[in-house]
Amino acid sequence: MNRTEFEQDLQGFFHNEAEKVKQPEGWWDDVVSMATCKKPIYTAPKAGFFRRKLFLVPLALIVALMVTGGTVYGYSSFLKGIIDRMVPSVENGETGEVISLAQQYDLSQTIDGVTAKLEYAYADMNKAVVGVSVKGERHYSVRLYTQDGQKLAGSVGIGSERGEWVWSFNMPAIDGNPSSLNLHMEISVSEDKEPFIFDFEAPYYGGKIVNVGQTVEAAGVTIELECLLISPSETQAIFYVSPQTDERGSYAMVMMTIKLTDDSEVKSSQSGGNNSIEETAISYVFGDFTAQSGEWIITIDELVYSPPIDESKHYQIHAPSDTVRLAGPWVFTVWVE
């Protein structure tokens, strides 16, 4: 299995599992974060924002892929194996060695016989990733904050029963083009104990925002591609769908295919957002396409409407026909600098 297939299978697992989870009370207020399609963050801040806010929300809750063994897809180290697939890498031109862009740390604390350790960190415009381990407790939570105290919304977590976890968080917009960020992390093992606190500097690889504002109509549905958020780890396409729901009130899920400047094609690894009137739809492609400058052709072949949801926030699935598919296509042509 190659890297792309692994990422698509892994993210597909997250999406499918997240759809099964019932939200606890107050989860939205705790983890939601907001960003906008705006001027690229690597330029000096200027006025001029899109008319809508983009809500970057977790898939549902933090989803765990529990692994009991010590190896994952041939790697001897669990954390390194997951980091190598969630974080971009570069090749050393002289040696040919592939080097992860994640920074490795050896920061640890021990309190009452429990040891927490920060081992890896990475950040770009779209996400921040940390690899941590805890010995002495099997269950714990991780919260990540920017230097000014803004809490980052968690998207996914991948862990083992040995207490090794890789956590991914949605990044807010960052002014300027820093090479690193100061982050604050809290690891909690129980409500009645003080958390482990790590203040550290993580490498920051930025990205670019391509404002589009292009609208296409097909099959009675209008879709606007508001912008592309392109970073080394992934590309996000932000869409606004009108109407957002079918006649049952089910919101549309947007999956896309991008034809890049080298004529290769990549498909969405997952889709999110568009779960309320205020939300835009987000379609994700994992991989580094920051060097793909030129014409991108983005195609949405169909919209997928999930089965209706009952008052308990559970999907009502009785037959395959409960999932409705509306054929398009909706095609957007975008010039990426």
Query: How far is it, in rounded angstroms, from Cα 114 to Cα 108?
Result: 10
Say if residue 94's pLDDT is above 90.
Answer: no
Token pair 């094609």 is at which residue? 265
User: What is the domain extent for residue 120?
Assistant: 62-203
How far is CA 100 from each of CA 46, 178, 287, rounded to the nearest angstrom?
33, 19, 13
Q: Give the pLDDT band (50/70/90) at residue 144.
A: very high
Residues 66 and 194 in one domain: yes
pLDDT of residue 37: 63
Domain boundary among 175, 203, 231: 203
CATH code of the domain containing 279: 2.60.40.1640
pLDDT of residue 157: 84
Question: pLDDT tens digit string along 45-65?
Answer: 222 222 222 222 333 233 333
Residues 195 and 249 in one domain: no
Say if residue 79's pLDDT is above 60.
Answer: yes
CATH code of the domain containing 159: 2.60.40
Say if residue 99's pLDDT is above 60.
Answer: yes
Domain boundary among 148, 173, 203: 203
3-class state of residue 11 by DSSP: helix
Residues 238 and 326 in one domain: yes
Phi, psi of 279 (to 5 degrees): -95, 145
Residues 121 and 189 in one domain: yes
Phi, psi of 175 (to 5 degrees): -75, 145
Q: Which residue from 313, 315, 312 is spatially nearest to 324, judged by alpha carbons?
A: 315
Residues 120 and 69 in one domain: yes
Residue 283 lies in a domain: yes
Residues 197 and 286 in one domain: no
- Name which residue leads in pLDDT, 273 or 9: 273
pLDDT of residue 13: 44
Residues 170 and 240 in one domain: no
Q: What is the CA radius of gyration of the chain?
A: 20
Residues 192 and 217 in one domain: no
- Name which residue leads in pLDDT, 269 or 50: 269
pLDDT of residue 276: 66
Number of domains in the chain: 2
Say if residue 318's pLDDT is above 70.
Answer: no
Total residue count of the chain as it appears in this document = 337
Rounded mean pLDDT, 99-107: 93
Domain boundary among 203, 236, 264: 203
Please report, as a single letter, which amino acid is at residue 3: R
N-term to C-term CA, the chain: 32
Residues 146 and 163 in one domain: yes
Rounded mean pLDDT, 285-302: 95
Q: Which residue from 286, 279, 262 is spatially nearest to 52, judged by alpha carbons?
A: 279
Mean predicted lDDT score pLDDT of the chain: 77
